[in-house]
Structure 1
Amino acid sequence: MLNNKQLNIVVGLFAFILFCSFIHPFHIHPYRNFYHDVGAGLALFVGIGAFCNVSRIELSVPSSVLLPIGLAVIVGLQVINGFLILPMDGFFPIVEFLCFGMAMIFGATIAANSDGLRKLCLGFSWLFVLTGLVSLVFQHLQLSTADLMPFVMPIKRVISIRPYGNFGQPNILALIDCFALASVWWLYTNGELRKWPAIGITVGILWGIALTQSRVAWVILPLFVLISCFQPQVGNVSVHRKVLLGLLLLFALMVLATPSFFSLCGSVVESVNERAAHTSVRLTLWQQAWKMSQMHPWFGIGWLQFSANQVMLASLFPPTEVADYAHNIVLNFVAELGWPATIIILVSSAYWFYVSCIKHWNDIQICYIGLILIAIVVHSMVEFPLWNAFILIPFGVMVGAVHGKQLGIATLSLARAWMGIVAFGAVVAIVVACWDYQRVTDGFQSAYRQQVLHQADDGGTNKPEWTLFPQFFDYFRINKIAIYSGMPASDIEFLEKMSLNFGFPPVLERLALAYALNQRPAEAVQVLISSQRLNINYYPNTYALWGSYAKQNPALFGQIFVSLPLPEKSKQP
């Protein structure tokens, strides 16, 4: 057992490093959330390393770890059986699932200590509140033209903008802000925050959510109010229903006022009606996921294979956009894992939530974490926030912390040397991954210099002997392959594989050109139609390019060009 001081150190280190991972502005192509995820992993393993304060630690291992272990096993089997086009794509998901399990153990171990669950909730509460307030400042700075790197992530000055703080995605910031509102409620009802500061912070965070124009928050906040109005009193102080309804009404007014505020800042944004009406892209993604689940109902298409299958099926659906996932966690699971695994996951998760949270809803700590879990579930119906490790790891800690004892918790006694080895090994692995990722980002910069600035090849895009990111060095090879009549079949097969993993216009255009020059015009048309369906905004450029090809060589490209859909007939998603 940890004493009070040791517990404070563990929770404090975890919350502080996680806060740093939330607010830093570094989003570097191709994995723009890489350093957010790395920061969350670092927070977890530094927190685990802090267990070394005691000579021997009693780890609590909840039965819920069977979920991440099961997911890791499924993805591993999919890799072994060739479900993944690029096998290395399965490496990081398996690592994240294992970290998810470690986070559950971390949370359960803290909660097993005297006053541990309350201290963990206190750490999470101030983490989310401070993140929301700092992000609110960042949002307003982003509306200016000031370049404040390396403190605030710059935002492109386009006609329509939705400031997102340093998260790079408005809906993620809105989700964190919803966590912050639940945190203000917990702090106030626990006597950790006085009335007027609580109201002031709440109003500020509501304004931050309004600035994101996040539709998912329009669902989460009324749900929070509905739950709060009908639940029994928990904590030392209650919040009157009229106050909650008044704050919700204030938020609605803020949402209505947001377009006018943006116009004062020199930007034009969509009205509430226009934002609410934009559903066509997600509906098409859901239809695609449903089709994939029908084609592969038992074992799915393979983890992270949604975008590849999207390219294959694009011509069957209305125009949409390239996506890494289905924007609905249930449909994503049935598409990539199959129906049996998905049903087991959903049923067991629902039962877990009932036993661990709903049955203990009168406990303020469990009520607080339950609200956050509900927000994540609601968000997961239209996106996949758990795709990000910086959401998945805190989620895992919370799941472990509130795990019902009647569901089973094992105890594992370890000497602090083992905890130190695990923590040190994980930190070293994180450093190595960052170093390797830097080689990838250097490679993209080198590719830019070669393709845009027409500089000589400096070797930055050459594939190293060892890397955790081989797919990106394969991607660099695409532009090194010469496209000509009679080119080797192996080169065309390579382009086909890369076009599935990277369904972007330049990649698809090169594959179509290879088909056209090698007497496969029908396949060239099919690829270009897929490009039109997945990259509707870019398609006029593709159409113009192939129009120039047709003028230069009507015999070879003329029939292909006349078979292409006209840009003006395509509706923007």
Structure 2
Amino acid sequence: MASAKEGKLALIIFAVAIFFSYAHPYHIHPYRTFYHDLIICLGLLGAMAFFVVRPASVSPSESASAISPASASKAAVRLRFPALLALPGGIILLILLQVALGMITPASFVALPILYLLLFALAIVFGSSLALEQSRLDMAVSAIALASLLAASVSLVFQHIQILGLDATPFVMYIAKDPHIAMRPYANVAQPNQLALLYFFALAGLWHFYRTRIFSGFSSAAIAALLLWGAVLTQSRIGWILVPLFFAYTASKLGTSKRKGTPIIIAMLALVILYAVLTFCLPQISQAIGFSGGSVADHVGGRSERTGLWQTAWQLAAQHPWLGVGWFGFGPGQVSVGADFTSSTYAEHAHNLPLNLAAELGWPATILIMGGLCWWFYQTCIRTEKSPGKGAALQFCTLSLFAVGVHSMVEFPLWYAFVLLPVGVLMGMVHQLRWPTAGTVVRPGIVLSGFVIGCVLMAAITLDYQRVVTGFKSIRDVSSGFESKEKFLQKPAFTLFPQFFEYFKLTRIKPREGMSAEEINYMETWAPRFGFVHILNIEAEVYALNGQPKKATRTLLTLQRLHPIPYPEYYDYWKAKGKEDPRYQTVFETMPARDAP
């Protein structure tokens, strides 16, 4: 087992990775969270390596360089491999079955999802192994809680820099102020709902520090008020559920705390009221500060794009009930049925975990996964009498899982490694608390070999991704009037991102009369993978110019349903083209109205 010093170093590495996965400002198209995910993946690998790098017999004062790889590999370390590993393992097997049945092509599509699931499994093992000893469990919870709290605190500062309209690039993402558009400052997370989730992770950490008497009641209340203000600024509706849920849960746990009494309940209730007041008064407060903030009425009475996404997911699951449409198939599936629903928005996820799983994996797997998770959560986090003496640590984990669970009903946070992997560590911890074992003896050399392989893979994937980034830069150069470098747009012999090189090819297709059946089939194969407005328009033009007006009509109806905001621009385009070409006019006459809802 690692010494106390190595245990701390492992946790420091992981905590620092959590912090920077939220705090660093670089979002590179097309996977804008690629480097956020890369940081946490490397952090997990590094933490796991440090966790096993020295045997317990080694003094913490000894230098790491004094330990030879041979002696390290011979020493034994205990790791926990819980039954919870059946979750990522089962999903991986189901994805491989979909590949074998030809439901996912090319097969390289599944490389990254499987890698994420394997890292999720590693996170579960890491968390379970940390919880083998009480002292290390307490350190782990404190480290993760502190990382979340610091990341949220820095993000709150970044939000106010954005509100003030200050240009603090490259350290803080810049948001241009517009008095006519409601601003949702997102710090460096770049997505307000994800930032709101971070604030609730931080609130869970704050509760942990209060319970362990690190923070006083007054300082805890003051920090909580600031975090709630940050959550209000995101204008995320998950807070409408999580704030009362956090209050109910923490209030119910005061009986297990040494800090009891009415004043605590009053202070917590005051924070709930403060959140409600700030939420309702945000338009007035934001106007006084100098930016525009959305109102509760806007959020409640506005068009719900998620409703359309959920209807689509339900329809896809109904059409493919047993195995779904295939992993990462929601986006193409939405393009295929989007014309059958009211206007929504194009997305690659259903913004609801159960429905997304049902659409992509089928109902049997979804019922098994969600039913199993609910039972597991009840056993580990609700039946606390089964984990006596672990109150503060268990409550932090429970609050964090509450937060990500609620968020998963309206978004897809678990598709991001910087959320998935810390959650995996927490799940591993609470699993070990509920079903404690002594662990399994493993030689460190195996883990260290995995660390080296993992780092090499991360480097290779990063280089592969940079080729995609370079390709998108080349396309932007063309749109800006510069010459494109064709070599950057050509698909390499092997890549984990083949879809983007097909996208580059799609964007260069010029619709014309007399296109071959092979060319049209290529368009029909890849266009649904990219249901962007310009791709759908190109597909419609190909149909119109090649004697398939009915397909062109449906494609444009899909365009209007998935992209209602830019649709008028394309309506005008087809109207103008119809005056020049009767084939365009035939399709134009069947298009939805310019102002169609």
State if a TM-score over 0.5 links the two structures: yes
| Partner residue, 1:12 | 12
Moved more, 111-120 or 505-514: 111-120
1:467 matched to 2:491? The reply is no
Q: Is the 8 A contact 1:99 1:393 kept in 2?
A: yes
Q: CA deviation at 1:236?
A: 4.0
Residue 484 to residue 408, structure 1, CA distance change in 2 (3 Å): farther
* Equivalent residue letter for 1:530: T
Moved more, 61-70 or 405-414: 405-414
| Partner residue, 1:59 | 79
| Partner residue, 2:37 | 37
| Secondary structure at 2:256 match in 1 | coil
What does 1:90-169 align with in structure 2 at a 5 Å threshold? 90-158=110-178, 159-169=181-191
| Secondary structure at 1:413 match in 2 | strand
Distance 1:237 1:286 in 2: 44
Distance 1:517 1:30 in 2: 31
Q: Is the 8 A contact 1:2 1:113 kept in 2?
A: no
Distance 1:265 1:425 in 2: 51
What does 1:58-77 align with in structure 2 at a 5 Å threshold? 58-77=78-97
517, 523, 526: which one pairs with 1:489?
Answer: 517
| Secondary structure at 2:592 match in 1 | coil
Aligned residue pairs total 569
Q: Is the 8 A contact 1:259 1:271 kept in 2?
A: yes
Moved more, 130-139 or 347-356: 347-356
Distance 1:275 1:538 in 2: 21
What does 1:305-316 align with in structure 2 at a 5 Å threshold? 305-316=329-340
What percentage of residue pairs aligned between the two structures are identical? Answer: 35
Q: CA deviation at 1:11?
A: 1.0
526, 546, 554: which one pairs with 2:574?
Answer: 546
Moved more, 173-182 or 80-89: 80-89
Distance 1:410 1:511 in 2: 59
1:299 matched to 2:323? The reply is yes
1:89 matched to 2:117? The reply is no
417, 420, 439: which one pairs with 1:389?
Answer: 417
Distance 2:105 2:165 in 1: 43
Distance 1:309 1:470 in 2: 19
Q: CA deviation at 1:486?
A: 1.3
Distance 2:425 2:303 in 1: 33
Moved more, 5-14 or 383-392: 5-14
294, 304, 329: which one pairs with 1:270?
Answer: 294
Q: Is the 8 A contact 1:63 1:409 kept in 2?
A: no
Distance 2:97 2:216 in 1: 53
| Partner residue, 1:2 | 2
| Partner residue, 1:562 | 589
Q: Is the 8 A contact 1:311 1:503 kept in 2?
A: yes
* Equivalent residue letter for 1:567: R
- Describe the superposition over 1:198-256 as per-residue Cα deviations: whole angstroms up to 9, x where unpaired: 22211111110110011011110111101222335234434721111011111111112
- Describe the superposition over 1:253-299 as per-residue Cα deviations: whole angstroms up to 9, x where unpaired: 11123222322454323211111233621111111111111111111
| Secondary structure at 1:481 match in 2 | coil
Q: Is the 8 A contact 1:85 1:497 kept in 2?
A: no
Residue 93 to residue 238, structure 1, CA distance change in 2 (3 Å): farther
Q: Is the 8 A contact 2:246 2:399 kept in 1?
A: yes
| Secondary structure at 2:150 match in 1 | helix
Q: CA deviation at 1:52?
A: 0.7
189, 203, 207: which one pairs with 1:181?
Answer: 203
What does 1:232-271 align with in structure 2 at a 5 Å threshold? 232-238=254-260, 240-271=264-295
| Partner residue, 1:411 | 439
- Describe the superposition over 1:457-500 as per-residue Cα deviations: whole angstroms up to 9, x where unpaired: 45321212222211101100113334221112111111112211
Q: CA deviation at 1:156?
A: 4.2
TM-score by length of 1: 0.96
Q: CA deviation at 1:545?
A: 1.2
- Describe the superposition over 1:415-463 as per-residue Cα deviations: whole angstroms up to 9, x where unpaired: 2222221112111211221111111111101011113425244532121
Gaps of 5+ in 1: none
479, 482, 496: which one pairs with 2:507?
Answer: 479
Q: Is the 8 A contact 1:62 1:408 kept in 2?
A: no
527, 531, 534: which one pairs with 1:503?
Answer: 531
Residue 377 to residue 346, structure 1, CA distance change in 2 (3 Å): same
1:320 matched to 2:320? The reply is no
230, 233, 237: which one pairs with 2:252?
Answer: 230
1:428 matched to 2:456? The reply is yes
Distance 1:523 1:148 in 2: 49
* Equivalent residue letter for 2:29: H
Distance 1:348 1:410 in 2: 24
Q: Is the 8 A contact 1:215 1:276 kept in 2?
A: no
Distance 1:278 1:449 in 2: 37
Q: Is the 8 A contact 1:322 1:503 kept in 2?
A: yes
Residue 384 to residue 479, structure 1, CA distance change in 2 (3 Å): closer
Q: CA deviation at 1:188?
A: 1.1
Q: CA deviation at 1:410?
A: 7.8
* Equivalent residue letter for 1:196: F
1:334 matched to 2:358? The reply is yes
* Equivalent residue letter for 2:551: E
Q: CA deviation at 1:88?
A: 2.6
Residue 236 to residue 453, structure 1, CA distance change in 2 (3 Å): farther
* Equivalent residue letter for 1:230: S
Moved more, 279-288 or 385-394: 279-288
199, 210, 213: which one pairs with 1:191?
Answer: 213
Q: Is the 8 A contact 1:61 1:108 kept in 2?
A: yes
| Partner residue, 1:216 | 238
1:374 matched to 2:402? The reply is yes
| Secondary structure at 1:357 match in 2 | helix
TM-score by length of 2: 0.92
Distance 1:250 1:148 in 2: 30
Moved more, 149-158 or 168-177: 149-158
Distance 1:231 1:123 in 2: 22
Distance 1:450 1:186 in 2: 53
* Equivalent residue letter for 1:62: P
Q: Is the 8 A contact 1:311 1:500 kept in 2?
A: yes
| Partner residue, 1:282 | 306
| Secondary structure at 1:467 match in 2 | coil
- Describe the superposition over 1:139-188 as per-residue Cα deviations: whole angstroms up to 9, x where unpaired: 01112333222211222444221001111110111111011111111101
* Equivalent residue letter for 2:79: L
| Secondary structure at 2:128 match in 1 | helix
Moved more, 271-280 or 249-258: 271-280
Q: Is the 8 A contact 1:25 1:167 kept in 2?
A: yes
* Equivalent residue letter for 1:171: N
* Equivalent residue letter for 1:413: V
* Equivalent residue letter for 2:588: F
Distance 2:392 2:508 in 1: 60
Gaps of 5+ in 2: 56-74
| Partner residue, 2:59 | none
Q: Is the 8 A contact 1:292 1:335 kept in 2?
A: yes
* Equivalent residue letter for 1:52: V
* Equivalent residue letter for 1:401: M
| Partner residue, 1:24 | 24
Q: CA deviation at 1:510?
A: 1.0
Residue 357 to residue 220, structure 1, CA distance change in 2 (3 Å): same
- Describe the superposition over 1:70-110 as per-residue Cα deviations: whole angstroms up to 9, x where unpaired: 11111111122122254332221111111110000000111
